[in-house]
């Protein structure tokens, strides 16, 4: 039996960049007011040529990791975390197109003290127009998942979507089944205990999968709406929307297939794969 690593109390932030542009500077500027603690930032860059990662690396607390290929979000995060030594017991995974509200990261860290079995902590995420993004959800089952996939866009208020997205009343601090990977505070002990993100997910569902595995390992995913961030939107993914839509469908299928194995599930999975392929054709024609 291998000895468990004991992590320190330092705070590291990992962000994966792919042509993030000017949003990265705003991310770093607002991060300075999000916590009173010293923070080391790892910018894990894939294949950017816009100069943004190099500009960020001129800051004293920023370390640039040049990956040199587009390995996907989860793998990029894993590689960024690996750049931090064992003194970093708290890890933030965040998209570079976020703006931090003042004190928001300290608020997440305070919540972590209230939830000793909390493995992941997610803030309230505002969209640019002020609406709240449903970032703390139930795990997708076949019933909820198919109902949401089929009716989500044509009937937004359908019961499957409302149940899956957990949009009910005033947001309160609570345990969720998974949290959006666009901004997460992670207890490193928890993150490493499940092996980090599953590298088979290129984009999308890596956060759903992580939340599920954390829960099965005895950790909690905790939603902390008293901490807030602003999501500026998919600056990187907007450049390849059809490719991203296909990645979303591929990841959705992988998630369901991993959790529904055996002969009895094969016809259901085959029908699901066909349905996702048809939906992709309809949405990209």
pLDDT per position as a tens digit, 70-98: 999 999 999 999 999 999 999 999 999 99
Please tell me the distance from the alpha carbon of residue 22 to that of residue 235, in angstroms, as a whole number. 10
Q: What is the number of H-type helices and E-type strands within the chain?
A: 10, 12
Instruction: Give pLDDT tens digits for 20-57.
Output: 999 999 999 999 999 999 999 999 999 999 999 999 99
Tell me the pLDDT of the chain averaged across its residues. 87
Question: Which tokens in the block code for residue 273?
Answer: 């794969």
The pLDDT value recorded for residue 114 is: 98
Is pLDDT above 90 for 235?
A: no
Residue 168 has a CB neighbour count (10 Å cut-off) of 10
- The helix (run of H) or strand (run of E) holding residue 239 is none
Report residue 103's pLDDT band, with 50, 70 and 90 as the boundaries: very high
Please tell me the distance from the alpha carbon of residue 32 to that of residue 111, in angstroms, as a whole number. 20
10-235 domain in CATH 3.60.20.10? Answer: no
Residue 102 DSSP SS3: coil
Residue closest to 85 by CA, chosen among 145, 3, 165, 9: 9
Is pLDDT above 60 for 63?
A: yes
Q: Of 69-83, 147-161, 171-185, 268-282, give the lowest mean pLDDT range.
A: 147-161
97 close to 231: Cβ distance less than 8 angstroms: yes
């Amino acid at each position: 039996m291998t000895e468990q690593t004991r992590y320190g109390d330092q705070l590291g932030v990992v962000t994966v960049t792919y042509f993030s542009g000017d949003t990265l500077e705003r991310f770093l500027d607002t991060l300075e007011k999000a916590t009173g603690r010293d923070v080391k930032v790892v910018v894990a860059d894939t294949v950017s040529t816009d100069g943004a990662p190099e500009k960020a690396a001129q800051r004293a607390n920023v370390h640039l990791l040049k990956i040199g290929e587009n390995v996907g979000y989860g793998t990029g995060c894993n590689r960024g975390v690996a750049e931090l030594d064992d003194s970093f017991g708290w890890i933030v995974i965040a998209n570079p197109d976020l703006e931090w509200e003042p004190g928001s990261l300290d608020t997440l860290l305070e919540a972590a003290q209230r939830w000793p079995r909390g493995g992941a902590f997610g803030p309230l995420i505002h969209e640019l127009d002020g609406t709240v993004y449903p970032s703390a959800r139930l795990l997708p089952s076949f019933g909820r998942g198919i109902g949401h996939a089929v009716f989500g866009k044509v009937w937004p208020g359908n019961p499957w979507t409302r149940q899956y997205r957990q949009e009910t009343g005033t947001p309160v601090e609570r345990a969720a089944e998974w949290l959006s990977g666009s901004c997460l505070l992670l207890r490193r002990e928890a993150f490493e205990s499940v092996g980090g993100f599953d590298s088979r997910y290129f984009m999308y569902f890596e956060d759903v999968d992580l939340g599920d595995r954390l829960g099965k390992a005895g950790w909690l995913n905790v939603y902390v709406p008293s901490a807030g961030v602003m999501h500026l939107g998919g600056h990187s993914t907007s450049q390849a929307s059809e490719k991203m839509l296909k990645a979303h469908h591929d990841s959705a299928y992988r998630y369901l297939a991993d959790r529904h194995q055996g002969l009895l599930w094969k016809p259901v999975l085959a029908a699901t794969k066909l349905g996702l392929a048809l939906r992709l054709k309809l949405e990209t024609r």
